[in-house]
A and B are shown apart, each in its own frame.
Chain A
Amino acid sequence: MAQDRTPAPYARDFGDPRRAFRAGARLAVGVPAAVLAASYVGFGALVQQVDLAFWHALFSIATAWALPGQVALVELYADGASLLAVTAAVALTNARLLPMAITLIALLRTPGTPQWRYYLAAHWIAVTGWALAMRDCPAMPPAQRLPYFMGICLVIWSVSMMGAAIGFALAGNVPAYVTLGLVFLNPVYFMLVVAGDVRGVSRVLAAILGAIGGPLLYLASPDWSLLITGLVGGTLAYLIGRVRAAGP
């Protein structure tokens, strides 16, 4: 941290990185933590229902914390998809992390910070922590931004594991209809994420084409349907959106 910092022109100055970390953690305890825990209850239940072990769920959260890709992986595993099909589908599902990482890390950079810290912090870039940090960090001194982001993420990351533990423990030990409801949490949650998030002709079209193509192509090829749906539906939607934008 720069000791010779000039009096703060920043609207949100927590004083030092340690306090910024705690402020981020405090922000995360509440609605963000509740949303993450609840969504990972569904993931835990799904993992239990496809006969995977609890440590598989934990390993997945520890190493690849981004729920859409995690759910896609478990679903494809349950369908007996090949390694290549699973890897490609997860990569495409998570490609949206690239623009998110580019924008967030640019905001978190401070001169003199070793590069590896950014590569480490990037491991926790996912939609909730990203959105909160993108909203709050511009008003903060640069040296406090990375700790603030990590404060948010470490809370919602731990809570994700707890949520998965609860979902895993409940599934199979509660009446069947409750377990089914917990598994149903996954598609309903993502359906509302997509429905609430899509803006612009091409993205709306992408969501619609995906919803049509996903089930139809699945009938033809359970392995590759997800990948083809994303590539073909997404590209088609993108092209139509461009033609319309350039149109008469």
Chain B
Amino acid sequence: MSAASPWWPLVLLIAGAAATYVWRALGVALSGRIVPQGRLFEWIACVAYALLSGLVARMILLPSGPLAAVPLAARVGAAALALTVFFLARRNMPLGVVAGVAVFMVLSWAHGAGLL
């Protein structure tokens, strides 16, 4: 099957579902036998954080989709503001997300209107 096939997304989704459930099932099989602490699990956590953080940075700095139409400064500025509000508001997630998205909308609008 090639990427041009209309069924290609479904193939990826099924593979993704298997790659997700396998950990959950393995967790059931291992639960009660091992305590998830120690080196292996710390390494798993590190890999997951690095990967997620890499995805976030890539989506903000080098977006491949519609976000690419918005200037880099707007993307970075809105993200920085979200982080600032989040920490100033004692790690308030909703507030940080709303602030970042709202400012990003305003900047996108300004860019679309030729103001930025």
Contact = CB atoms under 8 A, between A and B. Distances in A.
Interface of A: 34-35, 38, 46, 49-50, 52-53, 56, 59-60, 63-66, 68-73, 75-80, 83, 86-106, 109, 115, 118-119, 122-123, 125, 175-196, 198, 202-203, 205-215, 217-219, 222, 225-227, 229-235, 237-238, 241-242
Contacts of A181: 101-102, 104-105, 108
Q: Ordered nearest first, which 8 A-B pairs have the shortest CB separation?
A: A101-B27, A214-B54, A230-B51, A234-B47, A210-B53, A233-B50, A229-B54, A210-B50
Main DSSP-derived SS at the B contact region: helix
B53 A211 contact: yes
Contact of B105 (A53, A72, A180, A222): A180
8 contacts: A56-B9, A56-B13, A63-B20, A87-B19, A99-B27, A177-B109, A191-B82, A225-B58
Given A79-B64, A101-B24, A177-B108, A184 B55 contact: no
Interface residues of B, number: 77
Nearest to B26: A98
Contacts of B47: 92, 95, 206, 230-231, 233-235, 238
Interface of B: 3, 9-28, 30-32, 34-36, 39, 41-62, 64-67, 69-70, 75, 78-79, 82-83, 86-87, 91, 93-94, 96-97, 100-102, 104-106, 108-109, 112
A83 B46 CA distance: 24
Given A205-B46, A206-B46, 7 more contacts: A34-B94, A63-B17, A94-B20, A96-B44, A102-B27, A177-B106, A208-B53
Contact of B32 (A79, A106, A233): A106
A180 B51 contact: no
B49 A203 contact: yes
A50 B55 CA distance: 16
B16 to A, nearest CB: 5
Main DSSP-derived SS at the A contact region: helix
A191 B105 contact: no
A213 B54 contact: yes
A50 B40 CA distance: 36
A15 B45 CA distance: 37
A206 to B, nearest CB: 4
B101 A234 contact: no
Contacts of A235: 43, 46-47
A180 B16 contact: no
Given A86-B12, A90-B15, A211 B20 contact: no
